[in-house]
């Protein structure tokens, strides 16, 4: 379905709650006594402004880059069976996304302002990067639907592992084992096939009490997170802030589509609310949550990734639909570098893609594997999404012009105890 088909399905009748489908009407409703509980849904598009790649963008998303690497298929990096076999790719990803490396965005700070105003009911996030926590969103208002890097447990005995020790090991590029049973330790990120944490499942019905719902930076394709927007009451205005259409938003009377860059649209909305100065002050505080050296490295890596995916001729990627057989004991006639040499090679590499490539190459040559029995990940039928990502045949997301500003007077909602 293309955009023209979707436009034909949009509701074009009168609104029921909002005065109109624009920023001034949203701001006016937010200032009213009717709007007491606001829920927010955040996706990967919110964190891209921080330099973190999203997952599904053709050629630029994480899955598209992983498709070019020597994985059985891109999503294997988030599968528990593959993690048991080869934890190094996920540990490399963990090192790149670990808290303190990236700074929260203006959109994260906007959600913090909603909390400060007393109107944030629940912030649901798909993201595992912990930027919501770093922005200061209260933990009792935050639901991390897919887990995060904020804590970690043994995948066998389920014992929690110390965060400081985990951080030290991740920074050194070391795989962590449980001190009790010797099992692998994994950050509490929900992998494919794993059940959502009980707390998350219990929190989903909260959306039913929302007076206003913001859906920001998500394509609404991953369940059960995607169904949240549909669970909002019929009389709850749903505001989509995203580069493109998502889910069924636009089919109800009080749905508003604000298509463009998240941070730019959020700033325009804050200007309508009288929150722009408060937004800038709140975002300025987030600079204290990051490590300057890590942030500089992340910025350099992001710049290199934006310049385009490059393997520098170091890897002939195996197509993701082919079998991957490792541990057969066959020699390629070359000497195997030491673990220290692989680590030195990884440290000298800036881009996320190249770090993953080095980690994969290192783990397959250095980590001891069974020599008598080959370990095989059998071929399986790829989804149409994976085929498109692997082939790179889909165009990049089109650039969107920033949403124009709508200036309007009015009383601002107090944020942090006062007016701007």
From the list 108, 146, 153, 177, the catalytic residue is 146
Please, are residues 147 and 126 in contact by the beta-carbon 8 Å criterion? no
The Cα 407–Cα 8 span in angstroms is 30
Q: Hey, how many other C-beta atoms are within 10 angstroms of the C-beta on 293?
A: 10
Cis ω for the linkage preceding 224 (within 30 of 0): yes
**Residue 146 appears among annotated catalytic residues:** yes
Query: b or e along 87-115 (b: 16 or more beta carbons within 10 Å of the residue's beta carbon)?
Result: bbbbbbbbbbbbbbbbbbbbbbbbbbbbb
- CA-to-CA distance for 278 and 313, rounded, in angstroms? 48
Number of H helices, E strands in the chain: 17, 10
Pair 23, 258: CB distance under 8 Å = yes
C-alpha distances (whole Å) from 346 to each of 71, 73, 187 are: 18, 22, 21
Give every CB contact of residue 281 below 8 A, 6+ residues apart in sequence.
none
- Quote the CA–CA distance of 52 and 381 in Å, as a whole number: 29
Q: Torsion-angle region of residue 211: left (phi > 0), alpha (psi -120 to 50) or beta?
A: alpha
Query: Beta 375-377 vs 324-326: how paired, if at all?
Result: antiparallel
The residues annotated as belonging to the active site are 146
């Amino acid at each position: 379905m293309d955009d023209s088909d979707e436009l034909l399905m949009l509701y074009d009748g009168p609104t029921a709650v909002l005065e109109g489908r624009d920023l001034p009407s949203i701001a006016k409703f937010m200032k009213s006594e009717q709007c007491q509980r606001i829920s927010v849904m955040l996706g990967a598009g919110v964190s891209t402004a921080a330099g973190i790649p999203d997952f599904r963008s053709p050629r630029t998303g994480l899955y598209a880059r992983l498709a070019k690497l020597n994985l059985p298929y891109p999503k294997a990096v988030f599968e528990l069976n593959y993690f048991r076999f080869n934890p190094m790719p996920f540990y490399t990803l963990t090192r790149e996304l670990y808290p303190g490396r990236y700074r929260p965005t203006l959109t994260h700070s906007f959600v913090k302002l909603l909390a400060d105003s007393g109107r944030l009911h629940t912030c649901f996030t798909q993201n595992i990067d912990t930027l919501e926590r770093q922005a200061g969103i209260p933990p009792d208002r935050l639901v991390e639907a897919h887990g995060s890097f904020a804590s970690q447990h043994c995948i066998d005995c389920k014992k929690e592992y110390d965060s400081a020790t985990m951080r030290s090991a991740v920074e050194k590029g070391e795989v962590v084992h449980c001190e009790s049973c010797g099992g692998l330790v994994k950050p509490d990120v929900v992998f494919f096939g794993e059940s959502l944490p009980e707390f998350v499942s219990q929190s989903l019905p909260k959306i039913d009490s929302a007076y206003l719902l913001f859906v920001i930076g998500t394509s609404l394709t991953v369940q059960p997170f995607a169904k949240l927007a549909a669970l909002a009451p019929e009389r709850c205005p749903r505001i989509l802030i995203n580069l493109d259409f998502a889910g069924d938003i636009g089919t109800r009377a009080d749905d508003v589509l604000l298509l463009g860059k998240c941070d730019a649209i959020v700033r325009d909305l804050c200007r309508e609310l009288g929150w722009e100065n408060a937004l800038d002050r709140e975002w300025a505080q987030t600079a204290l949550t990051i490590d300057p050296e890590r942030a500089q490295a992340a910025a350099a890596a992001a710049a290199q990734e934006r310049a385009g995916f490059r393997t520098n001729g170091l890897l002939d990627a195996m197509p993701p639909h082919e079998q991957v057989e490792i541990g057969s004991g066959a020699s390629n006639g070359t000497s195997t570098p030491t673990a220290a040499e692989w680590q030195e090679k990884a440290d000298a590499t800036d881009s996320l893609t190249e770090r993953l490539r080095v980690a994969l190459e290192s783990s397959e040559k250095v980590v001891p594997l069974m020599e008598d029995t080959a370990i095989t990940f059998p071929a399986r039928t790829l989804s149409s999404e994976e085929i498109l990502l692997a082939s790179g045949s889909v165009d990049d997301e089109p650039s969107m012009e920033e949403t124009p500003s709508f200036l309007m007077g009015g009383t601002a909602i107090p944020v942090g105890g006062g007016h701007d």
